[in-house]
Amino acid sequence: MSAERQSEHEDVDDRLTEAIATAVEASLSYELDDEARQVLRDTAKRHQQLARKLRETPLTNADEPDFVFVPFRAEG
């Protein structure tokens, strides 16, 4: 990966990470201390990297998620 592309990824990662961490903090009924806030951001950043790795696997529209929804109907 070129240095420029790497830099673009990191920039997006940082903005997304901050947005995600802010969203999580907003959902909590309590405040995090500085250490916890950093752990949250570090984890969120790893999730960005994880998501990018998953996007490297090509999928077609026909590749369905591996669960099957079956409409329910009671017996009788």
Q: Which residues contact another protein by CB under 8 A? A: 20-21, 23-24, 27-30, 32, 35-36, 39-40, 43-44, 46-47, 50-51, 53-57, 59, 63-67
Residue 14 Cβ, how far from another protein at the closest point, in Å? 15
Q: Determine how many CB atoms are found less than 10 A away from the CB of residue 53.
A: 9
Nearest to 34 by CA among 47, 25, 23: 25
Q: Which is nearer to another protein, 4 or 35 (CB)?
A: 35
**CA distance to 20, 47, 58, per residue, from 14 (Å):** 10, 12, 25
Residue 20 Cβ, how far from another protein at the closest point, in Å? 4
